[in-house]
Amino acid sequence: MTSLLRDRILPVLTVIAAILVIWHVFVIYLNAPFVRDQAARAGTTVTLSEIIPQTFNQERPILPAPHQIIAELWDTTVAKPVTSKRSLVYHAWITLSATLMGFGMGTVLGIALAVGIVHNRAMDKSLMPWVIASQTIPILAVAPMIIVVLNSIGISGLLPKALISTYLSFFPVVVGMVKGLRSPDTLLIDLMHTYNASNSQTFWKLRWPAAMPYLFTSLKVAIAISLVGAIVGELPTGAVAGLGARLLSGSYYGQTIQIWAALFMAAGLAAVLVSIVGAAHGLVLKRMGVKP
């Protein structure tokens, strides 16, 4: 217990404390000019002791204080019904549905491409460079084109956002699985050949089990980046629902507290999704007989 406290809990708490201290300092620094401007317009002067409390309670601060974000999160998650369009839970579900759909399609596509690249030399030489080059195009440039093209042929709603998530999430799966499927030692592959094993037997009994750690590591990256893709996909459409829509409306009306609350909700959702993938990884390794 003492070792757990010293090696894991204490370092995390120290980093969090340092972040909070720096955050509070910047709240005062960034929000103080507005307080001074208000005082100058009213023809009064304010001291530092008067400025500090006001910087933590502005309606539209440049940088919201932590307690303001916590209050907004509480109001939009606990105090609002989950079916309300003002509830962050409602908006998170809209984004989550596109995230999971895109993640599923990206995983299937990534594994299929990786299998083809490993087993086909032509695909390895021609497709792999294109896979890498595809990620050099900023998603903010690709997303509007995908949305507009699909809308022009009558496809809207969940699928366009899911395709953007797919575009982002398939890449780490491809790279990870290619590395994983090629990870078995040459001696082990030669041993399978001495057993007269077919390509499919070599794949399922050697390559696939060896690739599991690489796959789940890639899935952790893919599920998080898939969430980013779903949020980005909501921005160019002027969507009225989803975490991207909350960010967009907050930007339109200068509601910085709403923006930060949506960002924290997205971060929390990503953490939960990555944790679920990590738990699945542990279960799979346990079933494979790997000792923790």
Domain boundaries, the chain: 2-63, 88-287
Report the amino acid identity of residue 203: F
> Rg of the Cα trace of the chain?
25
The whole-angstrom separation of Cα 230 and Cα 161 is 5
Residues in Cβ contact with 37 at an 8 Å cutoff, skipping those fewer than 6 apart: none
Residue 253 has a pLDDT of 79
Distance, in Å, from the CA atom of 169 to the CA atom of 257, rounded to the nearest integer, reads 29
What pLDDT, on a 0 to 100 scale, did the predictor assign at position 291? 62
- The pTM for the full model equals 0.85
Give the C-alpha separation, 118 to 121, whole Å: 7
d(CA 79, CA 93) in angstroms, rounded, equals 17
CB atoms within 10 A of CB 269: 20
Spelled out in words, what is the top-level CATH class assigned to the domain 88-287?
Answer: mainly alpha
How would you write the pLDDT of the chain (292 residues) with one tens digit per residue?
A: 667 677 678 888 889 999 999 999 999 888 888 888 888 887 777 777 778 888 888 888 888 989 889 988 888 888 888 888 788 888 889 899 989 999 999 999 999 999 998 888 888 888 888 888 888 877 777 777 777 777 777 777 778 888 888 888 999 999 999 999 888 888 888 888 888 888 888 888 888 888 898 999 999 999 999 998 888 888 766 567 788 888 888 888 778 888 899 999 999 999 999 999 999 988 888 887 766 5
Q: What angle do CA 274, 224, 278 make, to 5 degrees?
A: 20
Helix H segments across the chain? 2-4, 10-42, 48-55, 66-77, 88-119, 121-134, 139-152, 158-181, 186-194, 199-202, 208-234, 243-253, 256-287
Tell me how far CA of residue 254 lies from CA of 60, 76, 238, 259, 272, in angstroms: 7, 18, 16, 9, 29
What's the CA gap between 60 and 38, in Å, rounded?
A: 14
